[in-house]
Amino acid sequence: MSGTVLILGGGISGLTAALQLSASGHAVTVIEQAAKVGGRLCHAPPPLLLEAHHATWSLLNRLGKDVVTRRLRHTPLEFLQSTGARIQFLHLPLPSPLNTLLGTTLFQGLSMRDRWHLLSFLERTWEQDPPLPNDLDLRLADEWLASIGQSESARRGVWNSLARLLLGAALPQVSAGLFMRTLRRCFLTGARTTKLILPSHGLDSFLLAPLKAQLDALGVQFQTNTMATQLHFDRDRVVRVELADHTTLTADWYIAALPRHHLTPLLPERVVTHYAYFQQLSRLSESPLVIVRLHLDQAIEQTQLVLLEHRTFHWMIRHPDRALHEQAAVVWGIAVDAPDLLAQTNEALILLALKDMGAAFPTTSAPRLIEADVVRQPQAYLTPKPATQQCRPLPSSPFVNFFVAGDWTDTGWPANLESAILSGQRCAEAIPA
């Protein structure tokens, strides 16, 4: 039985839910407080796509981008170490576990001692002798890596760079359980899963524009520049949503596809204090994100990803961009979990990005800067600290017609694009067709 669905939040999780629900016959309305839908993805760099991102590939398939994207060449994962050494993690087209064993053996980013300890741990893990500890979600990844023989230099370099890239936080803050599960999914389950694809487009043009076009064709209604201020509950359900202009909206089903810090103010105090589902949200926290986009008068052919050790920006992406300017390139500098950068001026951040770009992508002559943008997000990523997993909410709330979506919810993934899309899919699946 189809009905009406009101989705609060026009980010990728809300739009994914809207696509699935509208295709199954529901009348869907999306409420978004910004002037356009897309949330922070409107200014996001190209997505890091791995074969393990099943929900993301499912959405790309629905948008007709699956086949084209999979044909793109593999983008090497390159590390620029503090010593100036540049090292690639090799993508080897071998069956698991041979690809992992040989790739780890050949990876020069770790010392021979660190590689030996890592290979010994992987062998024991595959043989489950001994099994992984049950308390990994309560331990810090930094401490756990030390316990399996990873040196301080390996942890401060390679492992810290991977933690920032995959989980959005520095290694000393990250849950060992989530870190291990993410590494296993992305790098330890076969050659196909470790193939990294970086489309040469930001997420706005690559994903949001075709998704919005499909939603318009399906008749999804959008109310932008509209802010919800209160959710009203009666017994076991939500009965209406109050807006900033004091008008109300009603529906059969409600999905809150909002950041955690935007959802909590909408809840009555009696609901927060009575239900553990909502109480635990206060135990979650977010890490900041700073993005600098540099548009350069520079001809390049290939997309590159470089992880930077002990620099201002933690990774940089460079890709060709002939759409905006012939023979041009775009460089994205991304810094996560670096709150001191939020107070820097745009001019200072652009200069820092240009400096790191010179190290990441050295050239004989500096390219001319056409334009630059800076994006600051003080609360961007869910901080994946120990014990966070048990506080992340499931899609179904204690109220029968109210669901929660977002990359910060309990999807089993870090707060990334895959988690956001998967949460929207699960909310849509929970609503009867």
Which pLDDT tens digit goes with each residue over 347-406?
Answer: 999 999 999 999 999 988 889 999 999 999 999 989 999 999 999 999 999 999 999 999
Q: How far apart are CA 382 and CA 29, in angstroms?
A: 27
Output the average pLDDT for the chain.
89
Beta bridge partners of 197: 49
Q: Number of C-alpha atoms within 13 angstroms, CB side, residue 178? A: 32
Query: What would the pLDDT profile of 302-352 be if each residue is shown by its tens digit?
Result: 889 999 999 999 999 999 886 665 688 999 999 999 999 999 999 999 999
Residue 325, φ and ψ in degrees, nearest 5: -160, 125
CB neighbours of 339 closer than 8 A, spacing ≥ 6? Answer: 288, 378
Beta bridge partners of 221: 29
Query: What would the pLDDT profile of 180-200 be if each residue is shown by its tens digit?
Result: 889 888 776 655 556 788 887
Question: What does the block give as tokens for 21?
Answer: 């629900």
Query: Is the overall model pTM greater than 0.75, yes or no?
Result: yes
Question: What does the block give as tokens for 414?
Answer: 């870090």
Residue-level pLDDT at 26: 97
Q: H/E/C letters for each residue in the chain?
A: CCCEEEEECCCHHHHHHHHHHHHCCCEEEEECCCCCCCHHHHHCCCCCECCCCHHHHHHHHHCCCHHHHHCCCCCCEEEECCCCCEEEECCCCCCCCHHHHHHHHHCCCCCHHHHHHHHHHHHHHHHCCCCCCCCHHHCEHHHHHHHCCCCHHHHHHHHHHHHHHHHCCCHHHCEHHHHHHHHHHHHCCCCCCCCCECCCCCHHHHHHHHHHHHHHHCCCEEECCCCEEEEEEECCEEEEEEECCCCEECCCEEEECCCHHHHHHHCCHHHHHHCHHHHHHHHCCEEEEEEEEEEEECCCCCCEEEEECCCCCCEEEEEECCCCCCCCEEEEEEEECCHHHHHCCHHHHHHHHHHHHHHHCCCCCCCEEEEEEEEEEEEEEECCCCCCHHHCCCCECCCCCEEECCCCCCCCCCCCHHHHHHHHHHHHHHCCC
Q: Which residues of 158-175 are buried (b: 16+ CB within 10 A; e: fewer)?
A: bbbbbbbbbbbbbbebbb
Q: How far apart are CA 184 and CA 55, in angstroms?
A: 17
Q: How confident is the model at residue 433 (pLDDT cuts 50, 70, 90)?
A: confident
Q: How confident is the model at residue 82 (pLDDT cuts 50, 70, 90)?
A: confident
Residue-level pLDDT at 88: 83
Q: How far apart are CA 105 and CA 102, in angstroms?
A: 5
CA angle centred on 200, ends 337 and 170, rounded to 5° = 15
Q: How far apart are CA 226 and CA 212, in angstroms?
A: 18
Is residue 320 classed exposed, middle or buried when 0-12, 13-18 and 19+ CB atoms within 10 A define those classes?
A: middle
Which is more confidently placed, 137 or 122?
Answer: 137
Question: What does the block give as tokens for 79?
Answer: 């590390």
Residue-level pLDDT at 69: 77
Q: How far apart are CA 392 and CA 270, in angstroms?
A: 20
